[in-house]
């Protein structure tokens, strides 16, 4: 009986462990090892020490794709938080048709990114797309969207021309992708917020009401602080997932163009690894991304401890 | 005052609700237009058709009107495939009429898309991969979660944190090295590459573990006194009590393997192994100018998921809502 009990747990754990070790742990360690090699699938590769990292630091496309990713994250994450909290608060107030609205807002999230990327690519078409047709109705000239490499800040304020390209903001092409990505993930985060809102006790609002607080004050002084654990969850998850944006770039742009202005870091890893077969270099970039995500997550968790109520 | 606020709330929700569904509506309506009509850009959502017809008393032919004069008109006569069969024909003007049809749905786009893209194969591959991965995930997760939740053993915490830290690493980080690994295993371009690495899901293990820990201890004591084996306990007591959480995990697993794209794109090359998303992305490259067909095939790939979603939306949304909750 005793010995049986001792071996059983390991037998139960074994199938999952084998898969996790073989297809997670080993590849992660290999990724680290590969980054020190010149590796292109033909032959076995050649150890080159830190050369990939040295190349990376002087690679302008790496920095550009990092800059693009930066803009994507700093616009996508706050926009997602603001919009999804806004809709969750509205949905939380209504009595009728609640589940219909919930379903409508959630729909983009369950559909495949590939199919909706194709649809949005056509919607952003300069001549035949729906977006420019709608903009035309309200008197806005057609925009080039996915074909426009100029930064959105530069398009709004031509005076920025003299600044380095990074300060021109994300290209209009990348901005189009951000819009689409917010649309895609909004429903999920709204649902998460809605669940969080339902956990806030009504008594807080009743107390605020008695003190004569306006609805806006109630939102700002009761809802926002009490929902902050959910906000941190949304913040961390959206940050991690937006760093991994790939399919939209693959499907909606021509290899991260125009002028590399939509080339995000994961697309760059894909391109160097699978188009150019520079697996060692791609692994070095992947590892840089990993360190970046890890640092940010740890930083966000530290912040959470300070701000949480 | 509060009535006004409620009206404004509904108004905002309706307007943004439309924003959420308009891409789908546009996808469907464009998929039902002929390409020439889409290119004309004058029917936004409701497909319509306008063309000239030459009616000479015996046959009605579709034509292109080149020049209209008082007495006679010059036309190109078209066949049923809209190819020109007779050029610059001069006919009496009163025999040529404008035909307007609204709405006019070009359902044949779906047939054309289905003939152009081997959807049956793609659906088969996708279902095959999704179902086998799901079975694997359920088996490995039930066993591992049970060990974590209900058994004492050396190294339990170590394995727990090992799994937890593996879960934190995003897929793109180990994509390249997984490719190299699968290449060494000679698994590239096989179903193995699409299924076996996905037969364990750490998130599901934690989901099950959480649930198993919440089950009352007395249940297990009673079963143990009755001489139930460990495996019997899992199969006859735990699994029946865990149907909702198993359903949740299955929904996550099926939706994520149905929609998974980057992995199958990288790991397979042979057309016979393409899953739906990969097949669709190839069609996107081949047919970038054939808007209607592209939309029809996108609709093809979305509709099965949407149908399931409409019927099980409550369960699906509730499952996802739980992922954000901390205990």
Helix (H, G, I), strand (E, B) or coil at B311: helix
pLDDT at A4 over 70: no
Residue A26 lies in a domain: no
Quickly tell me which residue has 């609700």 as its tokens.
Answer: B17
Residue A44 lies in a domain: no
Interhelix angle A60-93/A98-110, rounded to 10 degrees, is: 160
pLDDT at B99 over 80: no
Q: What is the pLDDT of residue B52?
A: 80
Q: Output B245 or B229, whichever has higher pLDDT.
A: B245
B20:A107 CB<8 A: yes
Give, in degrees to the nearest 5, the angle at Cα A56 between A54 and A62: 165
Tell me the two tokens of residue A115: 């199919």
> From the list B17, B153, B309, which residue is nearest A10 (CB)?
B153
Q: How confident is the model at residue A80 (pLDDT cuts 50, 70, 90)?
A: very high
Give the start-end residues of each E strand in chain B: 49-55, 60-68, 72-78, 84-92, 96-101
Q: What is the pLDDT of residue A3?
A: 46
Distance from the B107 Cα atom to the nearest Cα atom in chain A, whole angstroms: 18
In chain A, % helix, strand, coil (3-state, to 5) comes to: 75, 0, 25
B261 closest CA partner among A112, A204, A296, A212: A112
Contacts of B58 (CB under 8 A, 6+ apart): none
Mark which residues 246-265 of A lie under 8 Å from B by CB. 246-247, 250-251
A192 closest CA partner among A70, A92, A306: A92
**Cβ contacts (< 8 Å) between A31 and chain B: which residues?**
173-174, 176-177
Residue A16 lies in a domain: no
Residue A10 lies in a domain: no
- Find out whether B19 and A183 touch, Cβ atoms under 8 Å: yes
> From the list A118, A247, A287, which residue is nearest B298 (CB)?
A118
Average pLDDT over residues B82-87: 80
Q: Computed from CA positions of residues A58, A62, A64, A69, in that sequence, does the dihedral angle turn out positive or negative? A: negative
Q: What is the pLDDT of residue B102?
A: 67
> From the list A34, A101, A269, which residue is nearest B13 (CB)?
A101
Q: What is the pLDDT of residues A87-112, one digit of tens each?
A: 999 999 898 898 899 999 999 999 99
> From the list B178, B301, B309, which residue is nearest A107 (CB)?
B309
Cα–Cα distance, B43 to B41 (Å, whole number): 6
Average pLDDT over residues B178-204: 95
Tell me the two tokens of residue B115: 């003939």
Q: How confident is the model at residue B94 (pLDDT cuts 50, 70, 90)?
A: confident
Range of the structural domain that residue A107 is part of: 60-307
Cα–Cα distance, A8 to B121 (Å, whole number): 42
**Cβ contacts (< 8 Å) between A130 and chain B: which residues?**
22, 26, 44
Q: How confident is the model at residue A292 (pLDDT cuts 50, 70, 90)?
A: very high
Number of domains within chain A: 1
Contacts of B226 (CB under 8 A, 6+ apart): none
Quickly tell me which residue has 């699906």 as its tokens.
Answer: B316
**Cβ contacts (< 8 Å) between B299 and chain A: which residues?**
115
Q: Output B249 or A41, whichever has higher pLDDT.
A: B249
pLDDT at B255 over 70: yes
- Find out whether A243 and A289 touch, Cβ atoms under 8 Å: yes
Average pLDDT across chain A, whole number: 92
> From the list A12, A39, A293, which residue is nearest B147 (CB)?
A12
Per DSSP, chain B holds a count of helices (H) and strands (E) of 15, 5
Q: Output A123 or B97, whichever has higher pLDDT.
A: A123
Cα–Cα distance, A271 to A246 (Å, whole number): 11
Q: What is the pLDDT of residue A309?
A: 54
**Cβ contacts (< 8 Å) between A234 and chain B: which residues?**
324
ipTM above 0.90, yes or no: yes
- The whole-angstrom distance between residue B113's C-alpha and the CA centroid of its chain comes to 16
Please state, for a pLDDT cut of 90, what percent of chain B lies above it.
Answer: 48
Of the residues A4, A7, A81, A118, the best mutation for testing chain B's interface (the one with the most B CB atoms within 10 Å of its CB) is A118
Cα–Cα distance, B184 to B177 (Å, whole number): 11
**Cβ contacts (< 8 Å) between B324 and chain A: which residues?**
191-192, 195-196, 230, 233-234
Among A59-63, B151-155, B243-247, the range with the most confident prediction by mean pLDDT is A59-63
Q: Does the beta carbon of A20 lie under 8 angstroms from any beta carbon of chain B?
A: yes
Average pLDDT over residues B309-325: 85
pTM score, whole prediction: 0.89
Distance from the A82 Cα atom to the nearest Cα atom in chain B, whole angstroms: 14
Phi and psi at residue B51, to the nearest 5°: -160, 170
Q: Does the beta carbon of A268 lie under 8 angstroms from any beta carbon of chain B?
A: no
A65 closest CA partner among A280, A282, A226, A276: A282
Residue A43 lies in a domain: no
Average pLDDT across chain B, whole number: 88
Mark which residues 101-120 of A lie under 8 Å from B by CB. 101-116, 118-120
B138 closest CA partner among B192, B193, B207, B194: B207
Q: What is the pLDDT of residues B154-166, one digit of tens each?
A: 999 999 999 999 9
Mark which residues 37-76 of A lie under 8 Å from B by CB. 39, 41
Q: What is the DSSP letter of A22?
A: I
Tell me the two tokens of residue B76: 């190109």
Q: What is the pLDDT of residue A107?
A: 94
Q: Does the beta carbon of A277 lie under 8 angstroms from any beta carbon of chain B?
A: no
**Cβ contacts (< 8 Å) between B20 and chain A: which residues?**
104-105, 107-108, 183, 186-187
Cα–Cα distance, A169 to A175 (Å, whole number): 9
pLDDT at A256 over 80: yes
Q: CATH number of the domain at A144, please.
A: 1.10.3720.10
Q: What is the pLDDT of residue A2?
A: 45
Buried b or exposed e, range A163-187, using 16+ CB within 10 angstroms: eebeebbbbbbbbbbbbbbbbbbbb
Q: What is the pLDDT of residue B88?
A: 84
- Could you write out the DSSP letters of every residue in A232-288? HHHHHHHHHHHHT--HHHHHHSSTT-STTTT--HHHHHHIIIIIS--HHHHHHHHHH
B26 closest CA partner among A114, A118, A148: A118
Size of interface A-B (CB pairs under 8 A): 268
Least confident of A20-29, A157-166, A184-193: A157-166
Helix (H, G, I), strand (E, B) or coil at B107: coil
Phi and psi at residue A171, to the nearest 5°: -65, 160
Distance from the A164 Cα atom to the nearest Cα atom in chain B, whole angstroms: 30
Residue A34 lies in a domain: no
> From the list B196, B298, B322, which residue is nearest A115 (CB)?
B298
- Find out whether A259 and A124 touch, Cβ atoms under 8 Å: no
Residue A55 lies in a domain: no
A111:B305 CB<8 A: yes
Give how far Cα A253 sits from Cα of A32, A128, A149, A264, A306, Å. 30, 17, 11, 11, 41
Distance from the A156 Cα atom to the nearest Cα atom in chain B, whole angstroms: 24
A113 closest CA partner among B274, B75, B301: B301
pLDDT at A145 over 90: yes
Instruction: Tell me, letter by letter, the H, E, C secondary structure of A116-135.
Output: HHHHHHHHCCCCCCHHHHHH
Q: What is the pLDDT of residue A184?
A: 96
Q: Output B99 or A177, whichever has higher pLDDT.
A: A177
Q: What is the pLDDT of residue B204?
A: 95
> From the list B26, B147, B325, which residue is nearest A13 (CB)?
B147
Q: What is the pLDDT of residue B327?
A: 41
**Cβ contacts (< 8 Å) between A9 and chain B: which residues?**
147, 151-153, 156
Helix (H, G, I), strand (E, B) or coil at B74: strand
Residue A68 lies in a domain: yes
Q: What is the pLDDT of residue A1?
A: 43
- Could you write out the DSSP letters of every residue in B151-187? ---TTHHHHHHHHHHHHHS-HHHHHHHHHHHHHHTT-
**Cβ contacts (< 8 Å) between A13 and chain B: which residues?**
143-144, 147-148, 159
> From the list A27, A112, A290, which residue is nearest B181 (CB)?
A27
pLDDT at A5 over 60: no
pLDDT at A247 over 90: yes
């Amino acid at each position: 009986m005793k010995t049986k009990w001792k071996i059983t747990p390991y037998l139960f754990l074994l199938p999952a462990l084998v898969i996790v070790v073989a297809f997670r742990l080993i590849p992660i360690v290999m990724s680290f090892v590969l980054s020190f090699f010149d590796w292109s699938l033909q032959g076995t590769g050649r150890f080159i020490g830190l050369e990939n990292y040295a190349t990376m630091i002087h690679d302008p496309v790496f920095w550009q794709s990092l800059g693009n990713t930066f803009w994507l994250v700093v616009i996508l994450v706050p926009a997602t938080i603001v919009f999804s909290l806004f809709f969750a608060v509205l949905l939380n107030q209504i009595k009728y048709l609640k589940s219909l609205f919930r379903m409508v807002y959630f729909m983009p999230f369950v559909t495949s990114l590939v199919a909706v990327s194709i649809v949005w690519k056509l919607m952003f078409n300069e001549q035949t797309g729906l977006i420019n047709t709608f903009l035309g109705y309200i008197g806005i000239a057609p925009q080039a969207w996915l074909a426009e490499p100029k930064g959105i800040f530069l398009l709004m304020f031509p005076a920025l021309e003299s600044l380095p390209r990074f300060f021109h903001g994300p290209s209009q092409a990348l901005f189009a992708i951000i819009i689409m990505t917010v649309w895609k993930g909004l429903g999920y985060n709204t649902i998460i917020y809605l669940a969080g809102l339902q956990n806030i006790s009504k008594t807080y609002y009743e107390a605020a009401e008695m003190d004569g607080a306006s609805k806006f004050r109630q939102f700002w002084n009761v809802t926002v602080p009490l929902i902050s654990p959910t906000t941190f969850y949304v913040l961390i998850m959206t940050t991690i997932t937006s760093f991994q944006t790939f399919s939209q770039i693959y499907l909606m742009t021509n290899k991260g163009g125009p002028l590399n202005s939509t080339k995000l870091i994961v697309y760059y890893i894909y391109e160097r690894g699978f188009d150019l077969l520079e697996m060692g270099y791609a692994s070095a970039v992947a590892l840089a991304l990993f360190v970046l995500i890890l640092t940010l997550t740890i930083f966000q968790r530290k912040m959470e401890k300070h701000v949480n109520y | 005052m509060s009535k006004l606020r409620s009206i404004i709330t509904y108004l905002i929700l309706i307007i943004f609700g439309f924003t959420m569904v308009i891409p789908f509506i546009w996808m469907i309506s464009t998929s039902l237009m002929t390409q020439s009509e889409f290119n004309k850009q004058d029917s936004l959502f409701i497909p319509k058709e306008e063309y000239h017809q030459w009616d000479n008393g015996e046959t009605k032919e579709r034509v292109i009107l080149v020049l209209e004069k008082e007495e006679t008109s010059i036309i190109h006569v078209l066949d049923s495939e809209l190819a020109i069969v007779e050029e610059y024909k001069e006919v009496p003007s009163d025999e040529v009429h404008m035909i307007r049809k609204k709405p006019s749905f070009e359902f044949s786009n779906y047939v054309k898309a289905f003939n152009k893209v081997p959807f049956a194969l793609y659906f088969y591959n996708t279902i095959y991969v999704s179902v086998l991965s799901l079975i694997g995930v359920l088996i490995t997760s039930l066993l591992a979660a049970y060990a974590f939740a209900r058994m004492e053993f050396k190294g339990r915490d170590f394995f727990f944190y090992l799994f937890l830290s593996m879960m934190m690493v995003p897929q793109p980080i180990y994509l390249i090295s997984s490719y190299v690994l699968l290449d060494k295993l000679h698994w590239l371009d096989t179903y193995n590459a699409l299924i076996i690495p996905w037969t364990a899901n750490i998130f599901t293990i934690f989901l099950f573990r959480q649930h198993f820990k919440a089950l009352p201890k007395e249940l297990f004591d009673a079963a143990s006194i009755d001489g139930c084996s460990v495996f019997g306990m899992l199969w006859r007591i735990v699994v029946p009590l865990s149907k909702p959480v198993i359903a949740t995990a299955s929904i996550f697993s099926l939706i994520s393997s149905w929609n998974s794209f980057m992995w199958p794109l990288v790991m397979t090359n042979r057309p016979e192994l393409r899953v739906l998303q990969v097949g669709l992305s190839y069609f996107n490259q081949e047919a970038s100018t054939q808007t209607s067909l592209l939309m029809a095939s996108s609709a093809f790939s979305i509709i099965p998921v949407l149908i399931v979603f409409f019927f099980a939306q409550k369960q699906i949304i509730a499952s996802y809502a739980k992922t954000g909750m901390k205990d």
